Structure 1
Amino acid sequence: MIEMNAAPIITREERRQQFIELGWWVSIPLATIPAHWLYQGENRLDGGYYTAEANAAFRVVNDCGFEVQALEKVTADIFVLDRFRRIYTRDKALGWPYLSASEALDFRSRSERYVAKDHAPKLAALHFAKPGWLLVTASGSVGRMVLVTERLAKYFLTHDLLRIVPNDFPYVGYLYAYLSSRIGQVLISKDQYGAAIKHLEPHHLASVPVPLPPEDIQAEIHTEIMRAYALRDEANELLDEADRLLHEKLGLPIFDESLVPYLPAPTAPRLPASRPEMPHPKAFSIRASELTDRFDASFHVPIARTAVKLLRDGNYEPVQLGHITGDIVVAPRFKRIYVPKEYGVPFLQGSHLPQMRPYDLKYLSRTQQRNLEQWIIRKEWILVTCSGTIGRVGLVSSYMDKWAASQHLLRIVPDYSKGHPGYIAAFLITPYGQHQLTAKIYGGVVDELTEDDTRAVWIPNAPIEIQREIGERVIQAFEKKDEASAIEEAAIRKVESLLQKEEAA
């Protein structure tokens, strides 16, 4: 009789070494799992569902020493709304302001699109989230979180956001911090599905385990998160006040496209009475002598010329931006050497400017990145996206002082004797600045903006006292915005260290 010996159990590292010796090893993530896992839950066959990182996150939560409950047990409801066909209206009175998922996560959410009320989907009221709800992106970059405040509650929100209703849970700020942490994000994203565009469903969130430390700790973290969101609301109020002051002091009307002299609509109907009249196209004409060397129609749309005309009719004579700034530069392209956080300089990219806090922040090597100083930004510089999505504006706070920034962020270096940086940022954020910036775009596939075109933007040359009155509010707003990011980041790190400390103990 032949005795069959059981195969020895080997570790993942030993298995990896065997693969290397056989010449099978390639530099991709590897996880070995028991075969019976494939028959549990959703019967998933995608490797990402079983990553070692997800298993490690489960282990941290299970070994943390605190009570653990599924998310559905500590919330009143988790739901997503049905897809719907969006029909917009130009009449604001007949519609609701609409936000996409990415717009809902912006620091300063705004909408120029209005969903027609008479074509709204069923359960339209649920598209308005209530203060205290949590929203989670459910398509694309899944798992990103936002806490609903009064400011966000007035918008008609997309169906691509999962709604978490924590009515029976008093520490929603703790929930937000935990789900935003590295551990929470791994547990959320492991369930995503889809080949090109990733998706999440309510039942994926419902099963996420939530550790419940003592109530005093939950209350402390909750308080910090609520403080961060209060600072963001204060920052937005300061920017609203600065915008109101700018229009009032400069004698400028609120810019509206109805002020643009497009060609008038025909007086006679173009279609039979039985058919609805089509909207009149925004048509215009220009002189041949005005073409200069640009033949793209977008460059000649009269919206920017109308903005400049209104500036000339204001209280102060406009000058070109280059006359009241120290310098306007675009950093050179470069090969980026990324390193872990502790070895690098934070690297700001164009997509970060509108966000509440920078997501997926990377770090450039302090020692291996040659000529790093060329990409370092300084306090109170103005940043403008100049490649891809043109015209997003930011101001460097003390929190971001000496960070590095992408070459896709144009730098405006202030000259304090001529122009206040906060005033310049406030003006560029308005339609008067935005239409001038976007009119100068060039590029077939990727839009670009040059330093010279930015220098040529017209801006009212207001007395420095008025500039300071407007600009100081803007500087305070960006300081509060980034202070909120630091407070939120610290609260999230506290959750992570708390769980990992208890696991180690």
Structure 2
Amino acid sequence: MKLIDMQNPVRAVWLADQGFRLDPSPYLSGAFEARKLLERLPRTEPLISLTTGHSGGIYNGPKFRRNYVSDPEHGVPFLGSTDMMEADFSTLPLLSKNDAESMKLSHLRVEPDMTLISCSGTVGRMCYARSDMKGIWASQDILKVVADRAKILPGYLFAFIYSKYGIPIVTGQASGSMIRHLEPGHIADLPVPRLGDEVETRIHDLIQEAADLRGRFQIGVGAATKDLFVSADLSDLLDFSWYKEPRSIGAATWGVDSKSLRALNYDSRATKLRRQIESVPHRTLGEVCKAGELRRGNRFTRVAAEEGHGYRLMGQEQLFWLRPEDKWIALPSAKASELRARAETIFVAARGLLTDRALIGRAAFLPESWRERYVFSEDLLRVTSGDPDFPGAYLFAYLRSEVSFRIMRSLCAGTGPQDINSVLRLRVPVPECTPADRHRIAETVRQAYRDRDEADALEDRALALLDEAVREEAR
């Protein structure tokens, strides 16, 4: 049951604005409540007066045919409205550079400090563009808001639009019945509260520091993977491209047994990768995880629960997001304990179809702040090292690589949604490196995730400060 905020109760003037309707829906939508509270502030300014740039600083893009390429030399990373929610942008598809840099699409380039808003389908998801996103192109389904720094700080503007005051108003302006859309004109008059230079600067600084830490996170996990391949004398695999390898139209293989008769599991490209890793000191994934975990989660019945009542469920898609949207389910406490994860667990998406952008085979590391916060879906392969000299953070630096992703994908089994073969995954080779190398690489990953956790905390502080300031001004 949704209740009104007792700090901002329904007032008589609200009833008059709604023709004295007494049913609760207009007053619980969030957008009406937010607008009414903002009307009580001494000073607000329309969003369009605070932006600058292409089309006044609030714009998306034209519809266009997406021509993807496989060679980074001829493409630019391309961000969809769901992709922008991810924590790690290293797996983005590549849009043709010729198309991206054309007059028609050049304005879709992302620049640091932009506010990005999903504007088609699921409207209102948001992202603050950080420095490592420069050079990424965004789809026409992402609305860009460019702050005029002479009038407002971009971090503060993002914090307001992303807050519990901005989001309901933005989503409430969407139109359409089947597929919802948000156009620049829909939010041009969004009332932005002005809270004074001191407060706005503090909020901006927190958001900017969070963005910088997330940029360091991206650099950190990439550096750990590079360090691992260089240390293992596998530098030539750093720029490995699956699509540059000859396709397996026909190939002979030996050692086939009853564990698998599927041709995919003997793909010559994946076999070549495994043999290259086996040419250096290595261990198998089964050996590393013998005293840990290498299994899918237990199945369970999902019963939806109200927010705050039950447990937050983490599924395959949102596992890779920077700030997952909470999905609450009801569970017995004993079952919830089974579905939690150990420290330094790696999750590999283990269910799905083998389309190019499907998640199956991708790996994610468990941030420390998520251990007690979430229970995890049975669709995830849990990978936990059982050897203290072979840390989970080191193992993740390998499993997040394109090499590991392609090997994992080659092990799929099933006819509809695929799974990762429970026997073949034990045989996946993992470069061993020296103990000193493993420790250094693991610490790089851990520091990256500490930066990520700190960024989340700073963003939460910024939103709390904004909320407190708005309520103080509205009294």
Do they superpose with TM above 0.5?
Answer: yes
* Partner residue in 2 for 1:165: 146
SS at match of 1:384: strand
* Partner residue in 1 for 2:170: 188
- Give 1:361's aligned amino acid: D
- Contact kept? 1:385, 1:408, Cα under 8 Å: yes
1:339, distance to aligned residue in structure 2 (A): 4.6
**Distance (whole Å) between structure 1 residues aligned to residue 304 and residue 333 of structure 2:** 9
From 396, 415, 420, the equivalent of 1:449 is 420
- Contact kept? 1:78, 1:163, Cα under 8 Å: yes
Change (3 A) 1:323 1:71: same
**Distance (whole Å) between structure 1 residues aligned to residue 123 and residue 239 of structure 2:** 36
Task: Report 1:112-131 matches (<5 A).
Answer: 112-117=93-98, 121-131=102-112
* Partner residue in 2 for 1:213: 195
Change (3 A) 1:90 1:394: closer
* Partner residue in 1 for 2:84: 104
**Distance (whole Å) between structure 2 residues aligned to residue 114 and residue 260 of structure 1:** 17
* Partner residue in 1 for 2:182: 200
Task: Report 1:230-249 matches (<5 A).
Answer: 230-249=212-231
User: Which structure has the larger Rg over C-alpha atoms?
Assistant: 1
Change (3 A) 1:230 1:344: farther
From 444, 454, 468, the equivalent of 1:473 is 444
**Distance (whole Å) between structure 1 residues aligned to residue 336 and residue 20 of structure 2:** 51
Residues 274-328 of structure 1, C-alpha deviations (whole Å, 9 max, x = no match): xxxxxxx6623234874856565533332211110110233x1x32102012222
- Contact kept? 1:234, 1:477, Cα under 8 Å: yes
**Distance (whole Å) between structure 2 residues aligned to residue 156 and residue 332 of structure 1:** 39
* Partner residue in 2 for 1:414: 385
Residues 168-191 of structure 1, C-alpha deviations (whole Å, 9 max, x = no match): 433211111111122211111112
* Partner residue in 1 for 2:430: 459
**Distance (whole Å) between structure 1 residues aligned to residue 383 and residue 83 of structure 2:** 26
From 484, 488, 491, the equivalent of 2:455 is 484
- Contact kept? 2:30, 2:169, Cα under 8 Å: no
From 180, 198, 209, the equivalent of 1:227 is 209
**Distance (whole Å) between structure 2 residues aligned to residue 258 and residue 340 of structure 1:** 44
* Partner residue in 1 for 2:48: 72
Change (3 A) 1:444 1:194: farther
Change (3 A) 1:36 1:208: farther
Task: Report 1:367-382 matches (<5 A).
Answer: 368-382=332-346
Change (3 A) 1:195 1:426: same
Residues 106-161 of structure 1, C-alpha deviations (whole Å, 9 max, x = no match): 22113342414168653332121222222111112211222222311112221221
1:356 matched to 2:325: no
* Partner residue in 2 for 1:60: 37
Q: TM-score, normalised by structure 1?
A: 0.79
**Distance (whole Å) between structure 2 residues aligned to residue 387 and residue 422 of structure 1:** 23
**Distance (whole Å) between structure 1 residues aligned to residue 337 and residue 136 of structure 2:** 42
- Give 1:58's aligned amino acid: R
- Contact kept? 2:363, 2:400, Cα under 8 Å: yes
Q: What is the Cα-based RMSD across aligned positions, in Å?
A: 3.1
Q: Name the % identity.
A: 21
Change (3 A) 1:169 1:309: farther
SS at match of 1:474: helix
1:424, distance to aligned residue in structure 2 (A): 0.5
From 277, 283, 294, the equivalent of 2:249 is 283
**Distance (whole Å) between structure 1 residues aligned to residue 403 and residue 114 of structure 2:** 36
Q: Which deviates more, 48-57 or 423-432?
A: 48-57
1:213, distance to aligned residue in structure 2 (A): 1.4
* Partner residue in 1 for 2:240: 256
Change (3 A) 1:454 1:166: same
**Distance (whole Å) between structure 1 residues aligned to residue 154 and residue 42 of structure 2:** 18
**Distance (whole Å) between structure 2 residues aligned to residue 117 and residue 290 of structure 1:** 45
**Distance (whole Å) between structure 2 residues aligned to residue 393 and residue 162 of structure 1:** 29
SS at match of 1:371: helix
SS at match of 1:146: strand
- Contact kept? 2:390, 2:438, Cα under 8 Å: yes
Q: Which deviates more, 393-402 or 419-428?
A: 393-402
Residues 86-113 of structure 1, C-alpha deviations (whole Å, 9 max, x = no match): 2234443333332323223322113342
1:347 matched to 2:313: yes
* Partner residue in 2 for 1:329: 295
* Partner residue in 2 for 1:391: 361
- Contact kept? 1:410, 1:451, Cα under 8 Å: no
**Distance (whole Å) between structure 2 residues aligned to residue 484 and residue 208 of structure 1:** 27
1:177 matched to 2:177: no
Task: Report 1:42-61 matches (<5 A).
Answer: 52-61=29-38
Residues 185-222 of structure 1, C-alpha deviations (whole Å, 9 max, x = no match): 11111122233332210011212222221221111111
Change (3 A) 1:329 1:237: same
**Distance (whole Å) between structure 1 residues aligned to residue 256 and residue 410 of structure 2:** 14
1:225, distance to aligned residue in structure 2 (A): 0.6
* Partner residue in 2 for 1:44: none
Unaligned runs of at least 5 residues, structure 2 = 5-14, 353-358
Change (3 A) 1:74 1:131: same
**Distance (whole Å) between structure 2 residues aligned to residue 78 and residue 469 of structure 1:** 44
**Distance (whole Å) between structure 1 residues aligned to residue 342 and residue 465 of structure 2:** 29
* Partner residue in 2 for 1:433: 404
Change (3 A) 1:133 1:380: same
Residues 460-486 of structure 1, C-alpha deviations (whole Å, 9 max, x = no match): 233332211111111111221122122
Q: TM-score, normalised by structure 2?
A: 0.84
1:72, distance to aligned residue in structure 2 (A): 0.9
* Partner residue in 1 for 2:355: none
Change (3 A) 1:258 1:357: closer
